[in-house]
Amino acid sequence: MNKLQKPIFEKSRKGKIGYSFSPTEFSDDLITIDKKKLREDIKDFPQLSEVEVVRHYTNLAQLNHSVDSGFYPLGSCTMKYNPKINEKIANFEEFSTHPYSPHKFVEGNLEIITTFEEWLKKITAMAAFTLTPSAGAHGEITGMMIIKKYLSSKGDPRKTILIPDSAHGTNPSSAHFAGYEIIEIPSNKDGIIDVETLKEYLNEDVAALMMTNPNTLGIFEKNICKISEILHKNGSLLYMDGANMNAFMGIARPGDLGVDVLHLNLHKTFSTPHGGGGPGSGPVGVASYLIKYLPTPIVYKKDNNYFVKYHEEKSIGRVKNFYGNFLVIVKALTYLMSIGKEYIRKVAEDAVLNANYIRKSLEPFLELPYKSKTLHEVVFSDNNLNVTTLDIAKSLLDYGIHPFTIYFPLIVHGAMMIEPTETESKETIDEFIDVMKKILEKAKNDPEYIKGAPYTTPVSRLDEVLAARKHILKWENLGE
């Protein structure tokens, strides 16, 4: 089917009804607000019957590629399968309580929060967590603010954050919005942070190093313990972006490696669905000396009762309404309980096996700019090809495979960043490898064909230049 849909506003017809709800029991005479403050009709607002709404969104859904429909090896995004039991449990009506309910009526929810924090502490060896940040970037800014507050209260405010050149764009942006200046440090030829280079960048202004580990090349920062040691000697902290925690969850714990502040992405490692861009959740874990700087509110248990602290003298303050993306946390806890100690390690093991299988299978056909050992993902380059990374990505769409992350990290020319995750079968991965070989072969003989891809998707390549020059950012009634 995959039929493009008219905007819902063009399907609207005056007088159609899509809802059913008991009418108001009171007359308009009760309205005391001045008429001038009341609005007229909402111009052009949709009017559809229920079945038309269902068809519109069902048809839209069919235009999407998703984890449920096929392979989605988007690097650094950990597009693993999203278990359905998580959804069922998060939809339990009893969990959907009001955030300002008296605590005695929501003890189940408060227990979920503290239980999930306990799980995260055991897996990461961090001393405490906040679950309030809504996404990875929100966790980053929270972590940066914690560092800032800690250093300022020590009377040692520092100005800069060191960020490797392979970092995701949110890292410098989050550090900037926490009031820091950013200094970029180059990766070495092995694709990791060089201890000697780092030393050259260290001075009394450096508040922290923000390290993604494994980094965006999929390489574990093997000098992490040494790096932590020299940072600490310099009075600086080690922040770890845990977006790629899927690579070593259950194998090692960031807290044991000398990490002071860590954020995790529940919508990556912990299997909650990404929702086409959110909602996510980005818990932040800290070493014990930073606990008092965590954002409020803080849920805790004492003598089998649950309490919430809304104010804490040294806290950075609130970063989010209420308790964060609570229902996302329910899903992540369901996931952890379902894999338990028996399978937590298996996650990383299978993810890394699959990624290395792809690496070795495609290495004869694509340039691998960094030869270091890689964990959960591998990054190839389009050097020496007669088509670009974008062309290959678009060709994959014709085979029902979502492309890998493209043109990132920036330090690799035409980067193709492939992350299969542990939830893919060997058949799927073999098929992907075969398709890649086919595309690369076709590119040699008929590059124009590859450059014209995709051919089978609901729309072909879209004109992004036109969109950026001539802004159409909402539907407008042009008359019929």
CB 95 within 8 A of CB 109: yes
Report residue 320 CA to chain centroid gap: 17
Least separation in angstroms between CB 228 and another protein: 11
Q: Which C-beta is closer to another protein: that of 186 or that of 317?
A: 317
Strands 416-418 and 305-309: unpaired
Q: Which C-beta is closer to another protein: that of 210 or that of 443?
A: 210
Least separation in angstroms between CB 295 and another protein: 7
Q: Which C-beta is closer to another protein: that of 2 or that of 444?
A: 2
Least separation in angstroms between CB 88 and another protein: 8
Would you state the torsion angle of the CA atoms of residues 59, 62, 64, 68, taken in this order, to the nearest 10 degrees?
140
The tally of CA atoms less than 13 A away on the side-chain side of residue 424 is 31
Q: Which C-beta is closer to another protein: that of 236 or that of 272?
A: 272
Least separation in angstroms between CB 351 and another protein: 10
Q: Which C-beta is closer to another protein: that of 138 or that of 385?
A: 138
User: Rounded to whole angstroms, what are the CA distances from 443 to 134, 222, 417, 447?
Assistant: 42, 37, 19, 4
* Three-state SS at 107: helix
Least separation in angstroms between CB 389 and another protein: 13
User: Rounded to whole angstroms, what are the CA distances from 463 to 7, 120, 403, 447, 466?
Assistant: 19, 44, 19, 21, 5
Q: Which C-beta is closer to another protein: that of 328 or that of 443?
A: 328
User: Crossing angle of helices 170-177/136-153, nearest 10°?
Assistant: 40
How many CB atoms are closer than 10 A to CB 347? 27
Q: Strands across the sheet with 416-418, in order? A: 378-380, 416-418, 405-406
Instruction: Name the strand (E) or helix (H) holding 138.
Output: helix 136-153
Least separation in angstroms between CB 34 and another protein: 8
Q: Which C-beta is closer to another protein: that of 357 or that of 442?
A: 357
Q: Which C-beta is closer to another protein: that of 106 or that of 444?
A: 106
Alpha carbons 174 and 152: distance in angstroms, whole number: 18
Which residues, 6 or more positions from 274, have their beta carbon under 8 angstroms from its beta carbon? 77, 79, 267, 280
Least separation in angstroms between CB 425 and another protein: 4
Least separation in angstroms between CB 202 and another protein: 20
